Amino acid sequence: DHMKSFLQELPKCEHHLHLEGTLEPNLLFKLAERNKIQLPSSFPKNIEECSKRYASFEDLQDFLNHYYVGMSVLITEDDFYDLAMAYFTKAEQDGCLHSEVFFDPQGHVERGVSVDLVVKGFDRACRDATKKLGTTNKLIMCLLRHLPASNGMETIKSVEKYHQQGIIHGLGLDSSEKPFPPGLFIDCYKEIKQKYPNVGLTAHAGEEGDYNYVIDSLDKLGASRIDHGINSKQSNELLARLAKNKTMLTMCPLSNVKLQVVKDVGELPINLFLQSDVPFSINSDDPAYFGGYILDNYISVHTRFGFNINQWAKIVNNGIEGSWCDDKRKSELK
């Protein structure tokens, strides 16, 4: 219909998507068979059972427990390539012109998969997506905050050459937010900032943790944007700071509902962020698990908030400005 095609045509950018979270049940079961992976008996047996399991998660941890088992079917470079290529294809159909995507190397290395084939598979898909679809993209490596920072440092060392080659463009922090505050990872962020000043810094904060997680991500990690960040609503002083510094929050409406951060998209502090001039973008997080890609997330917001053309123009413009691409690409996106 009209609303959907209007939202489809907006020049959208994705800033908060975990590639491992795009693993659709059909690909998951196909790879489990191809790689002879025996999934635990508690895991859904087929696509139908997946849709029941994914109807709702108790909280972030309940989802993560499932997500780490799901990704265990990814073994070969082609698996990582196929996963990312399926995502880029879907994103292009949704009218997403630029994607900055997370991956979790520790989730694979822990299971004995080499970090090299993870990065090579994902990077090859990134290049092919640009060649075949004309969309642009960047890889952001995330550290798992439930693992020790020393493991994060080893992970950073293990991908040194991909930083030098400009294949990894950002550093993020994900997994169980509480009780793993940003301050635990000061050295990891410092290492990247000193060695690779062009690499963007972000961190998940203020999804389940309170607004102090956001403040610490800015002060202690030097993050230039914040993933989720919705609990910034708890502090007017923080909102003013985000607005003044144009620090973008990468919101994920359908994720917040599925993980029971809010009961309904309409409860998200989107009007507060708009009124406070806090830039935000609208994103997918783990679309295979949360029931929708970027366009579905835009639709969910439009259905609740009914923004007009000028408001949407401001939202997508903030998304372009908050992207980590160069000014030339930004002007093409507008």
Binding-site size, ligand HPA (CB under 6 A): 11
Reported for 262-271, long-range contacts at CB under 8 A and 24+ positions apart, including other chains, are 262/230, 264/304, 265/300, 265/301, 265/303, 265/304, 266/304, 266/305, 268/230, 268/301, 269/230, 269/232, 269/233, 270/301, 270/305, 271/305
Under the criterion CB under 6 A, does residue 107 sit at the interface with ligand HPA?
A: no
Please pick, from the candidates 174, 199, 294, 298, the single residue that binds ligand HPA as defined by CB under 6 A: 174
How many angstroms separate the CA atoms of 130 and 195, rounded?
28
Nearer to ligand HPA, 66 or 333 (CB): 66
Under the criterion CB under 6 A, does residue 285 sit at the interface with ligand HPA?
A: yes
207 assigned to active site: yes
State the distance between the two ends of the chain, measured CA to CA, in whole angstroms: 24
Question: Would the annotation count 98 as a binding residue?
Answer: no
| Residue 286 assigned ligand-binding role | yes
> CB 64 → ligand HPA: shortest distance, Å?
6
Interaction of residue 155 with ligand HPA, rule CB under 6 A: no
Question: Under the phi-then-psi rule, with left for phi > 0, alpha for psi from -120 to 50, and beta for the rest, what region is 209?
Answer: beta
Q: How far apart are CA 66 and CA 274, in angstroms?
A: 34
Q: Which stretch binds Zn ion (CB under 5 A): 89-97, 285-293, 302-310, 323-331?
A: 285-293
Beta strands in the chain (DSSP E): 12-14, 96-103, 136-144, 168-174, 200-205, 225-228, 248-251, 280-282
Q: What is the residue type of 120?
A: K
CB proximity list for 74: less than 8 A, separation 6 or greater: 20, 23, 31, 80, 83, 108, 113
Report residue 69 CA to chain centroid gap: 18
Return d(Cα 64, Cα 61) in angstroms, integer. Answer: 5
| Segment interacting with Zn ion, rule: CB under 5 A, options 55-63, 85-93, 152-160, 277-285 | 277-285
Does 14 engage in binding with ligand HPA (CB under 6 A)?
A: no
Least Cβ distance, residue 204 to ligand HPA (angstroms): 5
**Residue 21 touching ligand HPA (CB under 6 A):** yes
- Residue 18 assigned ligand-binding role: yes
Closer residue to Zn ion in complex, CB, 28/144: 144
* Pairing mode, strands 168-174 and 225-228: unpaired
In whole angstroms, give the CA distance from residue 137 to residue 96.
10
Spacing of C-alpha 210 from chain mean position: 19
Q: Which is nearer to ligand HPA, 256 or 333 (CB)?
A: 256
- Identify whether the C-beta of residue 206 lies closer than 8 Å to the C-beta of residue 250: no
60 binds, among Zn ion, ligand HPA, none (CB under 5 to 8 A by kind): ligand HPA
Q: Does 172 bind ligand HPA (CB under 6 A)?
A: no
Element of type H or E holding 272: helix 270-276
Tell me if 255 contacts ligand HPA by CB under 6 A: yes
Among residues 20, 77, 207, 208, the one annotated as catalytic is 207
Give me the least distance between CB of 207 and Zn ion, in Å please: 7
Task: Confirm or deny that 2 is annotated as ligand binding.
Answer: no
209 binds ligand HPA (CB under 6 A): no
Residue 104 interacts with Zn ion (CB under 5 A)?
no
What residue number has its CB nearest to ligand HPA? 174
- Please give the structure tokens belonging to residue 298: 């835009």
Q: 100 touches which of Zn ion, ligand HPA, none (CB within 5 to 8 A by kind)?
A: none
Task: Kindly state whether residue 286 participates in binding ligand HPA, applying the rule CB under 6 A.
Answer: yes
Residue 116 Cβ vs ligand HPA, minimum distance, rounded to whole Å: 22
Residues 259, 251, 207: CA angle, nearest 5 degrees: 45
Q: Which residues are catalytic?
A: 207
Q: Which residues contact ligand HPA (rule: CB under 6 A)?
A: 18, 21, 60, 67, 174-175, 204, 207, 255, 285-286
Summarize the annotated binding site for Zn(2+) as residue ranges: 16, 18, 204, 285
